[in-house]
Structure 1
Amino acid sequence: MTSIEFDDVAHSFGDRRVLRGISVELTQDRIGIVGANGSGKSTFARMMNGLVIPDSGTVTVNGLNVAKNKRKVRRQVGFIFSDPDRQIIMPTVVEDIELSLTRVENDKRRRREHALATLADFGLADHADQPSHTLSGGQKQLLALASIMVLGPSILIADEPTTMLDLRNAAMLREVLAGLDEQLIVLSHDLELLADYQRVLVLDDGRLVADDEPGPAIDFYRRLMARG
């Protein structure tokens, strides 16, 4: 069982307090995180693989203190952003997967074989030699996801993964995410995406204000947003 634990975590950017004394343990396979823009949810998520280190308190992943073990933690925790162009680096699709594999595979032939097999798993085999920038939005998000999952993380954090996608591509990505075996933690304004998850957290003004099954948590969030 995977476990991410926050112990009295607080953080500020300059004079702006973005997280305020959050303590929570995340062990379920499917967890959603919701909150208005500026609620602190992205900072909260980025602490899970060391993209942000808290000013105070500790974050641990499977017993590892993230601040002290960023490299080890990042082998276990993958992260995809809403904009896949932030993660796609190489000129062609297969080269982008190969770039990820350079961390773990020295042999070029095996690296290419592994990359092609991964592209097939994500429905991108026919695009292997295509320039990455010519992919559709949904295909780019799949490529970003594939470049993370090829390294075998046990946890995936997805920060608003469907925000920049049209309805068709968003539905396709939801299906792919649903098929993953790894622990999945998704930040989203797409409440339908989270409806069948095991747990949903609600953040507001840097505080964890609700933590429940999706139905009650999403109802709470709707009421919170209605109050303005």
Structure 2
Amino acid sequence: MSSTIDIRNITFTREAGRVFDGLSLSLSERRVAVVGRNGSGKSSLLRLIAGLAVPQAGRVTVNGIDVARDRRGALDTVGILFQNPDHQIIFPTVIEEISFGLEQQGMTRPAARARAAEMLADRPDWAERLCHTLSQGQRQMVCLLAILAMAPRWILFDEPFASLDLPSTLRIEARIAALPQNVLTVTHDPARVRGYDRVIWLEQGQVVADGPPGTVLPAYGAEMERLARAAPC
């Protein structure tokens, strides 16, 4: 069944200024990546798609759900993993953290805890662990398990490999590769998305290039190298 993110002529302004002015995109590929420098609009795009930010004009829908206006529908349709798990975790214990989203979807607390325990089948000792006692990579995995428990159609990743050591990066990368859901990943590391179906290069809120990684990533890399050489030491 087709699963589509539809962004139609959006205008979005934050305190620092206008981020998008008439941006339109349609995303239906299984694996989509967004690359670009800091301030290009990557994270703002994810927040708009997740319904965590509202455009001043235009509309964002995911599988026909207006994510900014139908929050219950958005919970069932799209999940987002932030760069820093400490900005996402709100409950003391792992099982509480995983249960919360399920309760928001309408599950009773016992049913939500039972589902959370299923998600922790490979790590049953984590259930009553305090989240803050886990490593950065482990907390990132808890956040991912909480999202997966809710079974959204799209999962958005905002710099999922930032601040992780190599083993944790490889574990998260392997988990993302195995997901049945559509995935949209924002990253500064082009090597991690070379196997994706589509790459979008953003610069100052505009699409510079959009296509297969074999075309977009070399052009992006060449431009970043040019900018690095041009910058004063």
Contact 1:21 1:207 (8 Å CA) reproduced: no
Which residue of structure 1 aligns with residue 157 of structure 2? 158
Give 1:213 shift: 0.5
Q: Which moved more, 1:94-103 or 1:71-80?
A: 94-103
1:222 aligned partner: 221
Distance (whole Å) between structure 2 residues aligned to residue 163 and residue 49 of structure 1: 20
Matched residues in 1 for 2:84 and 2:164: separation?
9
* Correspondence list, 1:203-218, <5 A: 203-218=202-217
Shift of 1:101: 2.3
1:84 aligns with 2:106: no
Indicate yes or no: 2:179 matched with 1:180: yes
What is the aligned partner in structure 2 of residue 191 from structure 1? 190
Query: Which residue does the alignment assign to 2:69?
Result: 68
Aligned residues: 225
Aligned residue in 2 for 1:8: 9
Comparing 126-135 and 173-182, the one that deviates more: 126-135
Cα distance per residue 1:69-110 (max 9 Å; x no partner): 2331232100110101111122221121122222232152x3
Deviations 1:100-151 (CA, angstroms, capped at 9, x unpaired) = 222232152x33321111112xx43232221111111111001001111111
Aligned sequence identity (%): 36
1:124 alignment partner AA: R
Judged with a 3 Å threshold, the aligned counterparts in structure 2 of structure 1 residues 15 and 131 are, in CA distance, closer, same or farther, namely closer
Measured in 2, the distance between the counterparts of 1:211 and 1:36 equals: 15
For residues 27-72 of structure 1, give each alpha carbon's deviation from its aligned partner in whole angstroms, at most 9, with x where no partner exists: 0010001110000111111111211111222212112333332331
Structure 2 counterparts to residues 104-123 of structure 1, below 5 A: 104-108=106-110, 110-120=111-121, 123=122
- Give distance in 2, aligned partners of 1:54 and 1:112: 35
Task: Name the amino acid aligned to 1:162.
Answer: F
Which position in structure 2 is the counterpart of 1:46?
Answer: 47
CA distance 1:56–1:91, change in 2 (3 Å): same
* Between 10-19 and 164-173, the greater mean CA deviation after superposition: 10-19
1:154, CA displacement in angstroms?
0.7
TM-score, with normalisation over the residues of structure 2?
Answer: 0.91
Give the unaligned 5+ runs of structure 2. 228-233
Give SS of 1:102's match: helix
Moved more, 16-25 or 28-37: 16-25
Seen in structure 2, the aligned counterparts of structure 1 residues 216 and 68 have a Cα distance that, compared at 3 Å, is same
Question: For residues 187-214 of structure 1, what are the alpha-carbon distances to aligned partners after superposition, in whole Å with 9 as ceiling and x for unaligned?
Answer: 0112121010000100001101110101
- Structure 1 unaligned segments of length 5 or more: list them: none
User: Which ranges of 4 or more aligned residues in structure 1 deviate by more than 6 Å?
Assistant: none
Q: TM-score, normalised by structure 1?
A: 0.93
**Do the aligned residues in 2 keep the contact of 1:34 with 1:203 (CA within 8 Å)?**
yes
